[in-house]
Amino acid sequence: MPMPAPDFSWHFTPGNTFTEESGTAGTLSVVGGAELWLHTGRVIACDPFVALGAGEAEPFTAEVAPGRYRVEAAVATLVREGESDEDGPHLRVAAARLVIRDAPAVTWELALQAGQQLSELDEDEFFGYGVDAGTGCFYDAGSDGSFPDCEGDEGPLWDAFDTVPPSPGPHTVTDPATGHNLIAFTSGWGDGVYPTWIGRDGAGAITCFVTDFFVVPIEALVP
């Protein structure tokens, strides 16, 4: 069967801690301040430096009502065993969440694109998006052509991450002509393939979309 979803409420509980096998200790915090305009209600999650404007990113089949929704990142502050204060700490986005409604998720399912079937997945497999530039994002499918200045080796998307000190996000990039925006963030340890999950409440309504960047060890999530 496909990879099971962890309980992402753990990731988004400030102060939760974990320790990796290497001895690296992590403490979670939640960083917000971003609002995504879903003007069609069709959600895309992808590496914006790779897929934005290239026609490669497809929206998820699950849609929500158009509106403006909060995006927040579960950021792990990592302190590696034996490092001095000058060497760290390191900040990594453990998961990014697009909040549709402030209600607990009681079930989780993989976010699917058209043509994807759970029956295609073997044990512990998942569908996800590829990251080749160390970043992920959420944006509305109707905004795909709204960021031509971000398609290249410079522009507002690069500028958003060029902060002192460096910040993992979330960062907002807005097209001044349309008001369309995207919310971007660094992707955990960097490049890879990462799944996005849909949380639903007891009535089956979507509460959130969460991309997991595999920073939190699975052992930390087992009671």
Do the Cβ atoms of 48 and 157 come closer than 8 Å?
Answer: yes
Q: What is the pLDDT of residue 157?
A: 86
Q: What is the pLDDT of residue 189?
A: 93
Chain-centroid distance, C-alpha 167: 15
Strand pairing category for 90-99 and 206-212: antiparallel
Q: How confident is the model at residue 219 (pLDDT cuts 50, 70, 90)?
A: confident
CA distance 123 to 10: 24
Q: How confident is the model at residue 35 (pLDDT cuts 50, 70, 90)?
A: very high
Degrees to nearest 5, angle at CA 157 with 74 and 193: 50
Q: If you search the block for the tokens 């939640």, which residue do you land on?
A: 30
Q: If you search the block for the tokens 């907002």, which residue do you land on?
A: 172
Instruction: Give the closest residue to 3 by CA, choosing from 128, 116, 129.
Output: 128
Which whole number is the average pLDDT over 45-73?
91
Instruction: Give the closest residue to 82 by CA, choosing from 23, 28, 170.
Output: 23
Do the Cβ atoms of 211 and 45 come closer than 8 Å?
Answer: yes
Which whole number is the average pLDDT over 22-30?
91
Whether 150 shows a pLDDT value over 80: the answer reads: no
Whether 162 shows a pLDDT value over 90: the answer reads: no
- Name the 3-class secondary structure at 114: coil
Q: If you search the block for the tokens 């590829």, which residue do you land on?
A: 130
At residue 24, what are phi and psi to the nearest 5 degrees?
A: -65, 130
Q: For all residues of the chain together, what is the average pLDDT? A: 90
Tell me the pLDDT tens digit for each residue of 78-98. 998 766 556 667 899 999 999
pTM for the full predicted model: 0.93
Domain ranges for the chain, please list them.
17-221
Tell me the pLDDT tens digit for each residue of 173-211. 999 999 999 999 999 999 999 999 999 999 999 999 999
Both tokens of residue 175?
Answer: 């097209």
Burial bucket for residue 27 (CB in 10 Å: 0-12, 13-18, 19+): middle
Whether 216 shows a pLDDT value over 90: the answer reads: yes
Both tokens of residue 215?
Answer: 């920073």
Q: What is the pLDDT of residue 195?
A: 97
Whether 223 shows a pLDDT value over 60: the answer reads: no
Which of the residue ranges 22-36, 56-70, 88-102, 145-159 would you say has the lowest mean pLDDT? Answer: 145-159
Burial bucket for residue 123 (CB in 10 Å: 0-12, 13-18, 19+): exposed
